[in-house]
Amino acid sequence: MKAFIVLTGRIGKDAELKYTATGKAVTNISLAVDNRVKDGDEWKSETDWWKVTLWGSQAEGLQAYLTKGKIIQVQGKRVEIETYTAQDGTTRNNLKLTADDVTLLGGGNGQQQNAQPQAPQQPATPPAPKPPQQKPAANQPFPLDDIPPF
């Protein structure tokens, strides 16, 4: 059995594409994931920030689409929690996920986004003219080639 995590959230800042010393592409993004939590009789919203890492061709191909405000869903198996002490002395956690799959869900304006760039549109050509239809015979309610195959 495999365990994996799925996160849906909004990108906090534009993705950063970098290359390792060996030439492998890596993209990092900050992902804000909102959670509704009941506090007594009231519901409140809490935000968890995740550092999401993409590798290889996925990092290169998606980097241009991973911009601030876009809503995405990521899925991955490798989760890390990095604990550190903040300047004010409190202990904090960084949540990290290495993503295996990314789905672009929409933008800040609510429009659906496509993961692949659109191919240039070909000039429209008029449809070929249809042959004239023959009227069915008086004893035949419709042409035989219009009968469904079931």
CATH code for the domain in which residue 63 is found = 2.40.50.140
What was the pLDDT predicted at 37? 87
Tell me, yes or no, whether 132 lies in a domain. no
What was the pLDDT predicted at 123? 47
- Total count of domains within the chain: 1
Tell me, yes or no, whether 150 lies in a domain. no
C-alpha closest to that of 17 among 8, 26, 9 = 26
C-alpha closest to that of 54 among 16, 81, 7, 91 = 16
Tell me, yes or no, whether 123 lies in a domain. no
Tell me, yes or no, whether 55 lies in a domain. yes
What was the pLDDT predicted at 4? 86
Q: At 145, is the secondary structure helix, strand, or coil?
A: helix
Q: What is the pTM of this model?
A: 0.64
Tell me, yes or no, whether 121 lies in a domain. no
What was the pLDDT predicted at 27? 95
Tell me, yes or no, whether 126 lies in a domain. no
Residue 17: domain span: 5-35+43-114
User: Residue 34 in contact with residue 44, Cβ under 8 Å?
Assistant: no
Q: CA-to-CA distance for 133 and 143, rounded, in angstroms? A: 9
DSSP output for 42-84: EEEEEEEEEEEEEEHHHHHHHGGG--TT-EEEEEEEEEEEEEE
What was the pLDDT predicted at 110? 43
Tell me, yes or no, whether 127 lies in a domain. no
What was the pLDDT predicted at 112? 43
What was the pLDDT predicted at 69? 94
**One-letter amino acid of 27:** T
pLDDT beneath 50, residues of the chain: 110-121, 123, 150
What was the pLDDT predicted at 92? 86
Give me the residue label for tokens 């906090």. Answer: 12
Give me the residue label for tokens 């070929």. Answer: 128
Tell me, yes or no, whether 108 lies in a domain. yes
Look at phi and psi of residue 146 and say left if phi exceeds 0, alpha if psi is from -120 to 50, else beta.
alpha
